[in-house]
Structure 1
């Protein structure tokens, strides 16, 4: 799975997150501002920070954010336990590649790289899978009714697609992509809680592909 591959610099518009499940109402945290009565009306003073917290979509990637992923993972894990069904998750981590001396030595993905990679991943996942941004440099895919081997296969498909995606133009997406999988029933002796799944998947991160174009010298 080694080697540098080049992805098209423009993946087109990132597929937006699917409609939220009905019945999910975010609960305000204790620090959320309280309602105050003004001239008989109730007005809620909401700070920019609270507004960001209430959003369920990550603005940079166009995918679900961590808040929704936690909710979905928790409910899906509980359902899998209740009905003895499989469930698995895939953690995808991306780190900037420094392909030449001209590249900025940053460890943070640029917004364009986040959106391009998020768009590429979302266009290659299966219907019904939930994909979102888990951390600054990580994406999380949750697959209900799917054993871990199903996501291992999906990882291979995504990796092959990345290597075979034609590119006739330079790309600013230069990243090293790692992936790790965990889930039930393979890891049921280890995984006791929903939050244990992505943690275990992160421990299993291995390189799957690299993307980017060197400006001065080939790395092939």
Structure 2
């Protein structure tokens, strides 16, 4: 909006000078000076009230009034009517499609009636220096505003793309750990199961749960507990493969989706993670933490529920067997100790 005001202000100011010192059209110079002043007042109002919609409507109103007066005074002199090509462009840009069409259509209809009524009385004009100025500067103004419109449209699209990307991240990311959240993991796992079934690929799922995390929270507080979960997320990230999908499953549980991985590969990956966590010292307190891990490899009868259930059963088996270990999930659930 401010850029459009500046462009119009620049052109009206330029024509004040040209009409006084070069063309000797004092009434036109006065008309341009009045419009220049009106735009200055509009700029002050916009800075004060920050009401872009009102400023846009006022600017189009000023432009319509100026063009009507300008056309009456100029009487088609020096091809002045070429400046009316700016109105539809600015009206659509500032007011939108519906109102811009109404303003442009109404003004141009009135202009046609006015020309039909009065134009036969006007003298004919040759192309002279003022005419060349009008034609050249009007075309340049159209190109300038069109370029500004295209740039504004591109910036708007880029802004929407960034916002959509940010919203997508918010919708798929756990706010504490910045890993994939439960909802996104469900979607990814379903996609990977379909791919494994369709192409007969291997697939494994690992569920990790921290051992005695409630004791850590009770002893050191939830702020330290949250910091431990953040650090744990980074440890897990650094020890899964680039093809694996890691996320927070809920609470202190994490899920790893491992494409193209069989049972042996799943156990090997789980042990690599388990050992890395056990050897890491968390926060400034140098806290010790271990994880229990349950694994399940895809079989042709698996659904999203059954493969998760078998990995969860493996986790419960690991808890039953003393924690800080990895177990393959079976169909029968083992009660927790």
Match of 1:182 among 296, 303, 309: 296
Relative to the length of structure 1, the TM-score reads 0.59
Relative to the length of structure 2, the TM-score reads 0.40
Q: Is the 8 A contact 2:281 2:288 kept in 1?
A: no
- 1:93 and 2:209 matched: yes
1:137-193 Cα offsets, whole Å, 9 max, x none, are 21100011111221100111122223444789523x5544211000224xx4xx531
SS at the partner of 2:219?
A: coil
5+ residue gaps, structure 1: 1-39, 41-50, 210-220
Greater helix percent: which structure?
A: 2
Q: Is the 8 A contact 1:97 1:175 kept in 2?
A: no
C-alpha distance in structure 2 between counterparts of 1:163 and 1:73, whole Å: 27
Which residue does the alignment assign to 1:65?
A: 181
Q: Is the 8 A contact 1:91 1:180 kept in 2?
A: yes
When residues 192 and 156 of structure 1 are mapped into structure 2, their CA distance, relative to the original with a 3 A threshold, is closer
C-alpha distance in structure 2 between counterparts of 1:168 and 1:192, whole Å: 40
SS at the partner of 1:178?
A: strand
Deviation at 1:104, TM superposition (A): 5.9
Q: Is the 8 A contact 1:92 1:180 kept in 2?
A: yes
C-alpha distance in structure 1 between counterparts of 2:229 and 2:199, whole Å: 36
C-alpha distance in structure 1 between counterparts of 2:235 and 2:303, whole Å: 30
5+ residue gaps, structure 2: 1-97, 99-166, 326-337
Q: Is the 8 A contact 1:109 1:137 kept in 2?
A: no
1:85-138 Cα offsets, whole Å, 9 max, x none, are 111100001241637xx81698x9932122111111111111110000111121
Which residue does the alignment assign to 2:260?
A: 145
SS at the partner of 1:195?
A: helix
C-alpha distance in structure 1 between counterparts of 2:257 and 2:242, whole Å: 12
Greater strand percent: which structure?
A: 1
Deviation at 1:204, TM superposition (A): 0.9
C-alpha distance in structure 2 between counterparts of 1:122 and 1:128, whole Å: 11
